[in-house]
Chains A and B, each alone.
Chain A
Amino acid sequence: MDLDRRSLLKGVASAGAAAVASGLGATEAVAAERRQAPADAVGMLYDATRCIGCKTCVVACHEANFPNPFEEEEERGDMYFDPVDLDDRCRNIIKLFKDGERRSYVKRQCMHCIDPACAGACMIGALQKREHGAVTYDPSRCIGCRYCEVACPFNIPRFEWTKPFSSKIVKCELCSHRLAEGKIPACCEVCPTSAVIFGRYPDLVEEAHRRIAETPGRYRDHVYGEHEAGGTQVLYLGPPHVEFTELGLPALSDDSVAAKPRTLQHGIYQGFLTPVALYGILGAVMWRNRRSAKKDQAGGQEETP
């Protein structure tokens, strides 16, 4: 192969251009499918304007989800269960935004996305979207690789960093264990002002818009989570003078995070056809090479370098 600079340049440039054009073109052309909420979808609606920051939901969540609530905190010598952020012992938290006269509380927990990135990431299905839409976690399958943390645009899953062995992921699961018993999530049950309510997802979307329509001066005209990241089953209403980003809720497009990589992966590997075909081609090529090499040797000819 005699390679001079010009032919190299030409060859590579055309090959590269072709690759970029077809690659980018193809992925744009394939519309990433937009998933809908399941038929029995349930969710939560959090109205920041009704929240008084009492943090009863934080305590109730801790008691409902940990077998020995507060025991670990006592062992550590903490005087109070007072998490600063979501972590491996806190699945739900109330935070305060304050800037002069502008204030709002915000409740943070898993958003239970309609097309969850975390469930798309987990290779072994430890995180799954259930029939009612809650994204639940099965620790028995989890290897602790934390790909779900990379994927989540809201940075919700938390890892047990302090445990030397058997560290797993912790996050809100919409109290699926309580839903199974006909109860509602603990945070929704204890909220004294009904700032966070539980219900069927379509009803909550309707209720959110109804509140904005009936008392427009009280709310920002946007239901956060209705479309963000492909839609989430936890919705937020906020006061008009505070941006959702100031509350720590990221500004996201309507595209589901999981959709593009899934489309790319499926596009290449659908039905495992491409790998099998490639394997066959590789094998065939090598077979032919070896046969011609044997023929050359038998014929006493020199191998061409």
Chain B
Amino acid sequence: MDPNLWTALAEKSLLDHPTDRRSFLKICSIVAAAVGLPAAAAEEMADAVAQGRRPSVIWLSFQECTGCTESLLRTSHPALDELILDLISLDYHEALMVPSGNLAEEARMKAMDDNDGAFILVVEGAIPTKDDGIYCKVGGRTALDIVREAADRAGAIIAIGSCASWGGIPSADPNPTGARGAPAVLEGKTVVTIPGCPANPYNFLGTALQYATFGTLPALDEKGRPMFAYGRTIHEHCPRRAHFDAGRFVQQFGDEGHRLGYCLYKMGCKGPQTHANCSVQHFGETVDAWPIGLGHPCFGCTEQALAFRVPLHTTAVIERPMPPDTYPPIVAEKGEVSPWATGVAGAVVGAAATAGLMASRKLAREGVDDGEKEE
């Protein structure tokens, strides 16, 4: 999100008192643009709010550090929290809601009953599956139970963060609790996953607001990740890519190259194998607030095969080793001599030569004593 935009908003002070439709619409446009929705979405959002149609969101928390929630809360000037809460109806969130204990659980059941089949289910944190899932219980019920029941009744399911997407840190070896992501325990259901540790809040917002406004989900890849955020690897749109292509690497933290912002591949950057958009959508709405931008190699937090498995400073495998800016050499070789062809050519020439020799011999033998007359 462009920090200048937010400064402008703050200066306008409209946010504190969005008194008229026009200023509210303006704010909705800003939010729509920020999450990559078309301009038309703004009006729809504003209308939905005006008509009191705010989709219900049930946010379940399991084996998580609450980092993804914190990340979401860092999307703005505090007033945007209110905006988000005005655009959607966050009916259950353990960290943010007022009630607690049994009251909280009752509020959740009521919200699910009132919005049966229509609410957005957000899952944060991994779900333990070992020993029937006893390692995480809320109100006496296992996480496994709760999430399955909610998933059956939800309109859309979004797993935010690596933990909810594929197990995250709790699933790291030896995974004593059998922690798994939401898609793994909700077989047969479409689960949008927003991996990352933490997830980039705008990836979540884009997905949630699209569903809230249009009722559709963005295009997903085979792991349920929205293509608009996870369609490319960090390596493919990294600002330090030119250094990689030119062979300029950091050799040691703090060396001259590091100061000059060279490529961190040799320091173990997992960018080439990591699908994410951190390089274009930074964190905390601060330019360069992301690992590589700050001078540390990417550790592949979105990828189950990498994060918490492959050591931080182990070099990554390059998935597509054809850089676009190699230069054609002066001499580009063309043409080859196939051994088969040489063999065949040799055989043909040999056969012709043999035939000629044989014919010559044969004619010689038959011709010498023929005794023909001169014509």
- Residues of the A chain whose Cβ atoms lie less than 8 Å from the Cβ of B322: 79-80
B334 touches A85 (CB 8 A): yes
A95, B330: Cβ atoms under 8 Å? yes
Interface flag for B320 (CB, 8 Å) = yes
Report yes or no: B327 in contact with A246, Cβ–Cβ below 8 A. Answer: no
The digit string for A61-92, where 1 denotes a CB below 8 A from any CB of B, is 00000000000000000011011110000000
A80-B328 Cα distance, complex, nearest whole Å: 13
Asked if B368 CB lies within 8 Å of chain A CBs, one says no
Q: Is the CB of B330 within 8 A of A82?
A: no
Interface size class of A (residues with CB under 8 A): 10 to 19
Q: Which parts of B315-370 form the interface with A (CB within 8 Å)? A: 320, 322, 324, 326-332, 334
User: At the interface, yes or no: A123 with Cβ under 8 Å from chain B?
Assistant: no
A29 to B255, CA, bound (A): 72
Q: Does A97 contact B (CB under 8 A)?
A: yes
Q: Is the CB of A85 within 8 A of B327?
A: no
Minimum CB distance partner of A54 in chain B = B325
State how many angstroms separate the Cβ of A248 from the closest Cβ of chain B.
4
CB pair A85 B328 closer than 8 Å: yes
Residues in chain B near residue A79, CB distance under 8 A: 320, 322, 324
Contact assessment for A247 and B320 in the assembled complex, using a CB-CB cutoff below 8 Å: no
- Taking a contact as CB atoms closer than 8 A, the residue among B324, B330, B332, B375 that contacts A106 in the complex is B330
In Å, the complex CA distance between A53 and B325 comes to: 10
Q: Which residue of the partner chain B has the closest CB to A305?
A: B375
Asked if residues B328 and A96 are in contact (CB atoms below 8 Å), the reply is: yes
- Which residue of chain B lies nearest to A58 when distances are taken between CB atoms in the complex? B328
Beta-carbon contact of A84 and B332 below 8 Å: yes
Of all chain B residues, the one with the shortest Cβ separation from A81 is: B324
Chain B neighbourhood of A246, CB < 8 A = 330
Looking at B320, B324, B327, B375, which has the most chain A CB atoms within 10 Å of its CB?
B327
Contacting pair A93 B328 (CB below 8 A): yes
Specify which of B324, B329, B375 is in contact with A95 (CB 8 Å cutoff): B329
A135 at the A/B interface (Cβ < 8 Å)? no
Complexed CA–CA distance, A247 and B329 (Å): 9
Q: How far is the CA of A304 from the CA of B221 in the complex (A)?
A: 97
What are the residues of chain A within 8 A of B320 when measuring CB–CB?
79
Tell whether A127 is near chain B: CB-to-CB under 8 Å.
Answer: no
Whether A84 lies near B329 (C-beta < 8 A) is yes
Q: List, in ascending order, chain A residues with CB within 8 A of B324's CB.
A: 79-80, 82
**For residue B331, which residue of chain A has the nearest CB?**
A248
Residue among A84, A246, A248 facing the most chain B CB atoms (10 A cut-off)? A84
Q: A79-B320, A79-B322 given as contacts; is B332 within 8 A of A94 (CB)? A: no
A95 engages B334 (CB within 8 Å): no
| Mask: chain A, 93-123; 1 = CB below 8 Å from B; 0 = not | 1111100000001100000000000000000
Q: Which residues of B contact A53 (CB under 8 A)?
A: 327
Bound form: Cα–Cα A105–B329 in Å? 10
In the assembled complex, 22 residue pairs joining A and B whose CB atoms fall closer than 8 Å, in A order, are A79-B322, A79-B324, A80-B322, A80-B324, A82-B324, A82-B326, A83-B328, A84-B332, A85-B328, A85-B334, A93-B328, A94-B327, A95-B327, A95-B329, A96-B328, A96-B329, A97-B330, A106-B330, A246-B330, A248-B330, A248-B331, A305-B375
Chain A residues at the B interface, C-beta cutoff of 8 Å? 53, 79-80, 82-85, 93-97, 105-106, 246-248, 305
